[in-house]
Amino acid sequence: MITQSLYSKSVTLTLSFMCIFFLKGQNPTNRQIGFHLGTDLGIHTINSSYWLTNRYIVKNTLKIDPKEWKVPVLDDFSKTTLTKQHAWASDYTLQVALILSLIQTDQYKSLKTTRNFANLWVQNLLFTANLTQSAKIVFQRKRPYTRNPNFVSDGANDHFYSFFSGHSSMTAAAAATSIWMAYRYPSSKTSKITAWASTGLALTTGVLRITAGKHYPSDVIMGWAIGTGVSILNGWIHEKL
């Protein structure tokens, strides 16, 4: 019953969120996504430096201080049992969501738009991944399954990497980039289908992370929000280039 309720609420929340940002007043013929070599090289350089900084912190200066905190009511839907089958399934839905989103690069009528979409897609995912890793390092929130009385720690950092969900943020970034492009630029008839398919998989991935005991609902919702927000902001920046 809890799982069904969680699925229902997640579906309603995600679809409403996406509709607000992408379906109102879109005219795909009046915009052009920009590409500026200097600016985009700068963004990629920042992303690379950001990634290297995260790696250095994890390997050399990270102090483990795991925290256990909950968002009232919302996180009562979490599971304290690790379900590996759901965790594995979320890995697969993550991969398929990214692949579907990337396939969209071949569905635009203009080669220039295709190139710019691929550039935007890479930037959005890298920056989202970096933000996610930084949040995990800073907050060090213990995963739900660590609250299980039978849990025995093996010392892995992953035990306190709950906030926020990387699977959710990455799939949301990919899906939001696809939706953004599909509704704002001329493309093939199947672009919207693949965009919404990747959105559905982003939803599924987030729910699976909760039912797997890997994340609290607040972890997943924040991941969706960050991934979507990064894509909207970077898309807006590139329309101004």
DSSP string for 50-104:
HHHHHHHIIIII-----B----TTGGGG--SS--HHHHHHHHHHHHHHHHHHHHG
pTM of the entire predicted model: 0.82
Query: 112 or 73: which carries more pLDDT confidence?
Result: 73
How many whole angstroms from its chain centre is CA 176?
9
Say if 236 falls within a structural domain: yes
Q: Which helix (H) or strand (E) holds 167?
A: helix 166-184
Say if 84 falls within a structural domain: no
Say if 15 falls within a structural domain: no
Segment among 31-40, 100-109, 122-131, 171-180 with least mean pLDDT: 31-40
* pLDDT tens figures, 73-85: 888 888 888 999 9
Say if 12 falls within a structural domain: no
Say if 210 falls within a structural domain: yes
Say if 21 falls within a structural domain: no
Give the range with max mean pLDDT: 83-97, 112-126, 146-160, 170-184.
83-97
Amino acid at 141: R
* pLDDT tens figures, 172-219: 999 999 888 887 776 667 788 888 899 999 999 999 999 999 999 999
Specify whether the CB–CB gap between 142 and 159 falls below 8 A.
yes
Q: How many domains does the chain have?
A: 1
Say if 219 falls within a structural domain: yes
Say if 75 falls within a structural domain: no
Q: State the average pLDDT over residues 51-61.
A: 87
Distance CA 148, CA 150 (A): 5
Distance CA 119, CA 212 (A): 33
Cβ neighbours of 226 (radius 10 Å): 23
Structural domain containing residue 179:
97-147+157-241
